[in-house]
Amino acid sequence: MTRDLTTGSPMRLILGFALPTLFGLLFQQFYNLVDAMIVGKLLGAQALAAVGATGSIHFFVIGFCMGVCTGFAIPVAQRMGAGDHSQMRRFAANAAWLSAAFALVLTVATGLLCRRILGLMRTPADIVPDSYAYIFVLFMGIPAVFLYNLLAGIIRSLGDSRTPVYFLALSSGLNILLDFVLILFCRAGVAGAALATVISQAVSGLACLFYMRKKYPILHMTPEERRPDGRFCRALCAMGIPMGLQYSITAIGSIVLQTSVNTLGSTYVAAVAAGAKLYQLIACPYDAMGAAMATYCGQNVGACKLDRLGRGVRACALLGLIYAAAALAAMLAFAPQCAMLFLDPAEPELFTLVGLTRQYVLTLTAFFFPLALVNIVRFSIQGMGFSTFAILAGVLEMAARTAAGHFFVPILGYSAACFASPAAWICADLFLIPACIACIRRLRRRYPLQADAPDRPQPAPVHAAAGR
């Protein structure tokens, strides 16, 4: 049930690991797509705008949760690569304790503050009630986000990228069913769409939990291994919190940008909402590549096979370039048809909405290779154990989006909003690529014997597991 990523062709291993992860991400995005399609077609463009207006603040909070869980899984991958199964189980247990604490604090805080945040974001008055109903339910589902993402991250750290996909496939069907039941029959509106997403994600997380207990003997813990330990918690926080902050810091720029888009009116908000949903779907391969590189680099650092790090990054970058060209060609041909997935043909401003959505999606896909490098290089650095660099990259992305939202959207309008994310990706790459080279060189200087003899078994670097 586990996979060793420290031997064999990096291209083959990364592709083999990323493909199942991609299917899992597609199912996860399927939740959001179904919500947007049903909301847009059954409840109208105004309801779709209400959902879209919450996208940046949702990413600010949920992105932090997902980043923390991804960071918690990296020491597990490093201990797996080193063959130290007892410490691997200790890291997994302490990650669970920390995740429970984070989930409790974030659920209470966001539930109390979400209405005030919508006001600060200048959400149009006509969509505030629906926006609040939607985002409040999602925030109450934060424990389900932690449950699934932590367990899926641990399973992937063991080299198994397929199992989480199976449970997401099951829960995606449940999500569709609940969407129709809650919106059509229970008349729950946008809150029903949010509740369907929360319930479905909770089901996939519980399925992962029961399956892990039954099928992964390597994770069966003794009472001593299950006990909270301050040393392991500090190491996990040193890895997980920077990754979570990287997502949240990036989201601050998105919040500023969304605030500026909100001032353009509900039509532009709806277009960005539809375009963002489509973008999230077609960008899933880059998320899968990032997840693959985090596990690949984590296991190889744990095994001290440092010569494989650069080879893996280059192989994955080539995959990213190929997909960038294919995605741009597809959107040039089919962007209007894809936009119609989220829009009601009877909308009075349908032609305008389709044109604005097409402009947004084509602008982003034209810069997909910089996005590929952001995901590949950033997650590679994190897998090596240098998670603090993620925050610096996030600061650059935040600055680019903030500048676009605060200065350029009021002057140039919607076009500036379309170019904000590409500018953020390029700024992050200017930092991440030299940083990745420096991280590999630092590891080689610190462990020269292991780098010179990569096939010789060596103890894992302690600094990487501790997140220093």
Torsion region of 48: left, alpha or beta (phi above 0 gives left; psi -120 to 50 gives alpha): alpha
Is 5 domain-assigned? no
Contact present, 312 and 305 (Cβ < 8 Å):
no
CA separation, residue 52 to residues 30, 61, 387 (Å): 16, 15, 30
Is 124 domain-assigned? yes
Is 16 domain-assigned? yes
pLDDT at 143: 94
Distance CA 171, CA 167 (A): 6
Is 294 domain-assigned? yes
Distance CA 394, CA 418 (A): 19
Is 3 domain-assigned? no
CA separation, residue 2 to residues 5, 19, 81, 397 (Å): 10, 16, 11, 35
pLDDT at 26: 75
Contact present, 144 and 201 (Cβ < 8 Å):
yes
pLDDT at 1: 54
pLDDT at 463: 43
Structural domains of the chain, count? 1
Domain that holds residue 35: 10-466
List, for the chain, all residue ranges whose pLDDT scores fall below the cut of 70: 1-3, 24, 27-28, 30-36, 41-42, 45, 250, 253, 342-344, 346-348, 448-468
Is 1 domain-assigned? no
**pTM summary value:** 0.70
DSSP assignment of 284-311 equals HHHHHHHHHHHHHHHHHHHTT-THHHHH
Is 262 domain-assigned? yes
The angle formed by the CA atoms of residues 182, 187 and 189, to the nearest 5 degrees, is 80
pLDDT at 429: 92
pLDDT at 344: 62
Is 225 domain-assigned? yes
CA separation, residue 239 to residues 46, 70, 83, 101, 243 (Å): 41, 9, 20, 16, 7
